[in-house]
Structure 1
Amino acid sequence: MHPNEKLITDFYLAFKNHDPQGMTACYAKNIIFEDPAFGKIQGKRAFAMWYMLIERGGDALQIDFSEVQANDYNGSAKWTATYTYGPQKRKVVNHVVGTFSFQNGKIVQHTDHFDLWRWSQQALGFKGYLLGWTRFMKLKIQQNTSKALSSYLHKMKSFDVAF
């Protein structure tokens, strides 16, 4: 197994085990993360995102992954997250392809690709079905996730948690 395949595998095993510290140990400090829901985030915001998602997902969060491949420079994996979302506790099954770039034994760029419309239909119900494909809804989702992440970071500072 290539060392970067092991790095991706370690990342997803930590995710599966609800271990955000193990996940973020695979990242470089200046990590650039991007996906349709969060947009592009960097550094401690990317670290905090995993802590927040695992905390919010609780015991309902299930992670499966497969097709890990990597070389010296880049890699990819398919993964699925199953969890409940929002006050209505809607079940979401999100199928994702993660792509990675590496440097000095760490992940320096991580991009998750998934169908935001399909996600929004599951997470937001009828509103997601009607508007989830629009740029307006994508921006609204990104604004909401950015606000939630900022609140989470603020809360963690008050508990003196370092990312």
Structure 2
Amino acid sequence: MHPNAQTLQRFYTAFSQLDHATMAACYAPDATFEDEAFSLKGREQIGGMWRMLCSAAQKPAAAKHWKLEYSGIEADANGGRAHWEAHYLFSATGRTVHNIIDGTFTFTPDGLIATHRDRFNFWRWSRQALGLPGVLLGWSPSLKRKVRSTAAANLKKFLAQG
């Protein structure tokens, strides 16, 4: 197994165990992360996002819903990819979500994640996470912008709390 594939294996194993510290340690200090909800720069922001999400999943009401499955890890010196599926309770609405995500990665020469891009069907996610508003507006750029701005504000507040 290529060392970069080992980095992804370590990352997703830690994620399945909600071990945000190990997840953050897989990123380069100046890494970037992007998905439908976040656009982040640097290990502090990225690690903070994972700490926030893992903390929410560990709360008693949410813990019984948490499950992460991953497969298709492939990586070489040029990049990598992985498929993962998360089952969780969306804390803002208390609704259960099964999100299906494909991640692509690049790495530093020393095997840390340099760029991480997760892609998922936003409309599918919004229908589950938000209910009727997601059904009606999940396709719209305005709902995507609202989700991104709310996610950014929540992360900023979480990071300010230490």
State the TM-score, normalized to the length of structure 2.
0.93
Segments of 4+ in structure 1 off by > 6 A?
none
Partner of 2:130: 124
User: What SS does the aligned partner of 2:139 have?
Assistant: coil
Deviation by residue 1:23-47 (Cα, 9 ceiling, x = unmatched): 1111001110000111x21111111
Asked if 1 retains the 8 angstrom alpha-carbon contact of 2:56 and 2:91, the reply is no
> Percent identity, aligned pairs only?
39
| Alpha-carbon shift at residue 100 of structure 1 (Å) | 0.4
Partners of 1:30 and 1:47 in 2: CA distance: 12
- Per-residue deviation at 1:87? 4.8
For structure 2, list consecutive stretches of 5 or more residues without a partner in the other structure.
Answer: none
Deviations 1:59-110 (A, max 9, x none): 2321110000011020000000100113542110000001000012100000
Structure 1's 134 and 113: CA in aligned 2 closer, same or farther, altered over 3 A? same
Query: Which residue is 1:31 aligned to?
Result: 31
Give yes or no for contact 1:54–1:61 (8 Å, CA) kept in 2: no
Measure the CA separation in 2 of the matches of 1:88 and 1:107: 32
Counterpart for residue 70 of structure 2: 65
Question: For 2:52, what is the secondary structure of its paired residue?
Answer: helix
Q: Distance in 2 between matches of 1:105 and 1:7?
A: 7
Q: Which position in structure 2 is the counterpart of 1:2?
A: 2
Other structure's SS at 1:133 match: coil
Q: TM-score, normalised by structure 1?
A: 0.92
1:122 to partner: Cα distance: 0.2
Unaligned runs of 5+ in 1: 157-163
- 3-state DSSP class of the match of 1:99? strand
Work out whether 1:42 is the aligned partner of 2:41: yes
Is this contact kept in 2: 1:37–1:116, CA < 8 A? Answer: no
Tell me the amino acid that sits aligned with residue 115 of structure 2: Q
Work out whether 1:140 is the aligned partner of 2:114.
Answer: no
Counting only pairs closer than 5 Å after superposition, residues 75-94 of structure 1 correspond to structure 2 as 75-94=80-99
What is the count of residue pairs matched by the alignment?
155
